[in-house]
Amino acid sequence: MDDWPWMALAVLVGLTVRWTVSLQSYSGAGKPPMFGDYEAQRHWQEITWNLPAKQWYVNSSDNDLQYWGLDYPPLTAYHSLLCAFVAELLDPAWVALHTSRGYESPGHKLFMRATVFVADLVIYVPAVVLYCYWLKEASSQKKIASAFCILLYPGLLLIDYGHFQYNSVSLGLALWGVLGLSHDRDILGSLAFCLALNYKQMELYHSLPFFCFLLGKCFKQGFTGKGLLLLLKLGLTVAAAFALCWLPFLTDVERAGQVLRRLFPVDRGLFEDKVANVWCSLHVLLKIKSRLTPHTQLMCSFTFTFLSLLPACIKLTLQPSLRSFKYALVSCALSFFLFSFQVHEKSILLASLPVCLVLSEAPFVSVWFLLVSTFSMLPLLLKDGLAMAAVVTTLAFLLAARALFAVSGTLSEDELQLTSFALCVRRLLPAFKVPAETLLSWFRSSALVMGLLTLVSVTVDPPAALPDLFSVLVCCVSFLHFLLFWIYFNVIIIWDHRDGRSQKMD
């Protein structure tokens, strides 16, 4: 129980920083006619409150899908309905049909920010605290350090409390799923992850590690006994969770199809905004979108995503362990981000969550990744007027990580989780050593480049002939980092021979 006062302090500091960020600007503030994500979330409250469920995803005179039409799964819609219920009690003008479009006021901003704060406090923060506290083999110092750094991760804070979204809900539910699996509560863990997937379809980034880990566990228990029974229980749990969430839309095939078309709009093309993945980065040189047909783009995206996922998924299925599961979550989420179709810059948060889960094991690379992930969203944050908030929270996170984890100190193969890989290579090359000093130099150079690009983006106007110059540079620099991180985490997964029992939580 000695850790709880420090955990409470970590929570208090995290919540204080969250509310401070929420005082800043938000997406689309004062920018008609579409405004931004803040208005999208408000509009969904308006739609779910005033229209029956069967009309939520259907274009009509009361629900113009071109104006922030609902494009998240039903659980998001139910959450919007709950928020709308409270909004109606406080001020009906906030959710009045048609007339509330673009509504902005200090009182409404306070309400909207409070909905994010409450959802975060109820779902995400408790999961983080319990995850860190139950790290069995971690020292008390690492437990506290992990809690502080996860709760101060600037990427999630800036998007949820600045830009304005509810990522803490889906990520929190996914983390509850990880906690369930960590305690052999596979049914509860599967249920929590199903809820996460029914809140945001981007949780598909985490779906394959959950599936492969549980399938591998069934294999180990045998498909003629306990393994078969577990598989049946898991199948029934998933089916029941999805049926319950989708119940209002399952009475009509066309209605269910309309929801699916809203969730997976493949007609939008390979990518839209500047995002630090393969396709956007290659497009700078090869103009992929103009050279390849939409169908070819889709097939290329599917093929590369599938192939990049394969090594981690096969290893996890054949050798399921909690340790491999966490690293597979990182690898698979990065594969989706780098190679999949219609990726948004905010989707890097889906890779950042599992990176947070391995902070205590690989703090140097994890902190580096979390810094780059925040930097990769810089163009979006600048557009929202969050430059100062981004700089301050990023520096605070870096200082906290440096103090708590000593990330700028010396590195060893074990600290980098590359001991198994190094031993394997030394069988062929006896003199081989992991270039730890080189990695430290890369980290310093990386921090310098990100700092300079941030400074230039904030203070200098791009050339008139190249208005997207700084955004493209941020995109390409971040992409190169993410590609290296993807290779690094796959190396850990493929060459790791530990069974992960030492990582199991009580």
- For residue 506, the model assigns a pLDDT of 38
Domain locations in the chain as residue ranges: 4-29+104-503
The pair of three-digit structure tokens given for residue 446, joined into one six-digit string: 């990386």
- For residue 409, the model assigns a pLDDT of 64
- Give helix 125-133 / helix 4-22 axis angle, nearest 10°: 150
Place of tokens 């509009």: 43
Non-local (6+) Cβ contacts of 469 within 8 A are 462, 463
User: Residue 355: how many CB atoms within 10 A of its CB?
Assistant: 27
Please name which of 58, 68, 347 lies closest in space to residue 200, comparing C-alpha atoms. Answer: 347
Residue 355's alpha-carbon distances to 256, 326, 393, in angstroms, are 35, 8, 18
User: pLDDT digit of tens for each residue in the chain (506 aa)?
Assistant: 477 889 999 999 999 999 999 999 999 999 999 999 999 999 999 999 999 999 999 999 999 999 999 999 999 999 999 999 999 999 999 999 999 999 999 999 999 999 999 999 999 999 999 999 988 777 888 899 999 999 999 999 999 999 999 999 999 999 999 999 999 999 999 999 999 999 999 999 999 999 999 999 999 888 778 889 999 999 999 999 999 999 999 888 888 999 998 998 777 777 777 889 998 888 888 888 888 888 888 889 999 999 999 999 999 999 999 999 999 999 999 999 999 988 889 999 999 999 999 999 999 999 999 999 999 999 999 999 999 999 999 999 999 999 888 766 678 888 888 888 888 888 888 888 888 888 999 999 999 999 999 999 999 999 999 888 999 999 999 999 999 999 999 999 998 876 444 344 43
In contact, 353 and 175? CB cutoff 8 Å: yes
Ramachandran quadrant class, 28 (left: phi over 0; alpha: psi -120 to 50; beta: rest): left
Annotate 45-63 with DSSP letters as a single string.
HHHHHHS-GGGTTS--SS-
- Give helix 322-339 / helix 204-221 axis angle, nearest 10°: 150
Q: How far apart are CA 28 and CA 277, in angstroms?
A: 25
Instruction: Say what the pTM is.
Output: 0.95
- For residue 3, the model assigns a pLDDT of 77
SS3 498: coil
Q: How far apart are CA 424 and CA 422, in angstroms?
A: 5
Place of tokens 């069988």: 427
The pair of three-digit structure tokens given for residue 339, joined into one six-digit string: 């190679």
Please name which of 328, 332, 320, 357 lies closest in space to residue 213, comparing C-alpha atoms. Answer: 320
The pair of three-digit structure tokens given for residue 334, joined into one six-digit string: 């990065």
Query: What b/e string do you get for 193-217 counting C-beta neighbours within 10 Å, with b at 16 or more?
Result: bbbbbbbbbbbebbbbbbbbbbbbb
Q: How far apart are CA 221 and CA 240, in angstroms?
A: 24
Annotate 176-199 with DSSP letters as a single string.
HHHHHHHTT-HHHHHHHHHHHHTT
Torsion angle (degrees, nearest 10) of CA 410, 412, 415, 421: 150
- For residue 504, the model assigns a pLDDT of 47
In contact, 171 and 124? CB cutoff 8 Å: yes
- For residue 449, the model assigns a pLDDT of 96
Q: How far apart are CA 240 and CA 234, in angstroms?
A: 10
Place of tokens 């979550």: 329
Side chain identity, residue 315: K
Widest CA span of the chain, in angstroms? 73
Please name which of 304, 297, 301, 352 lies closest in space to residue 329, comparing C-alpha atoms. Answer: 352
- For residue 291, the model assigns a pLDDT of 83
Please name which of 20, 19, 94 lies closest in space to residue 50, comparing C-alpha atoms. Answer: 94
Instruction: Give how far the C-alpha of residue 246 lies from the chain's centroid of Cα atoms, to the nearest Å.
Output: 23
Annotate 221-272 with DSSP letters as a single string.
H-TTTHHHHHHHHHHHHHHHHHHHHHGGGSS-HHHHHHHHHHH--GGG-S--
